[in-house]
Amino acid sequence: MKIMGHSDPAARKQAAQEALVSPLVLEAIVHLEEAARGGHVFAMFNLGISHLYGYGQTDGRRDPDLAAEWFEASGLPEGLFAKSLHASSVGRKEEAEMWRSRASVLGFGSSWRKQARERTGSGGSSGAKLNLKWPPLPTGETPQEF
């Protein structure tokens, strides 16, 4: 689906809304769920992204609480950092600092972390990025790249 090809803002927004529940996005979410059940931490992290941004929801409804659970379940430094952002957003400052500290101890924010993660890869494939390439939302935003 070519969202940016629409010149009419209403058509662009409609195309982006449809992208949230496109067959490819829904199929990706099913595969992420299956992989997460098997313990795949990149899949868990991306399920957090899908719930945080409303992918797979016909109304675009976001579920930051469920997203935070997936970020925590991933155990990845990036997931723990995202969990800290959620705790902070709901006013739990001490909990937010705990998650931020754990993420930092595991390498989040360090110069070597992203390079090491991409070199190691996921599922035996090096060069794998943590974030999937999610389509733009109706607002035009895309998920933060970790």
Q: Mind listing the pLDDT tens digit for each residue in 10-44?
A: 766 666 677 788 899 999 999 999 999 999 999 99
pLDDT tier, 129 (very low <50, low <70, confident <90, very high otherwise): confident
Predicted model pTM: 0.84
Cα-based distances in Å from 109 to 25, 66, 80, 113, 146: 29, 24, 12, 7, 10
Does the CA dihedral 48-53-59-64 come out positive or negative?
positive
- What integer pLDDT is reported at residue 2 of this predicted model? 39
Q: Residue 9: is its pLDDT beyond 50?
A: yes
Percent of the chain with pLDDT strictly greater than 90:
59
The first and second tokens of residue 86, run together, are: 């959620």
- What integer pLDDT is reported at residue 125 of this predicted model? 62
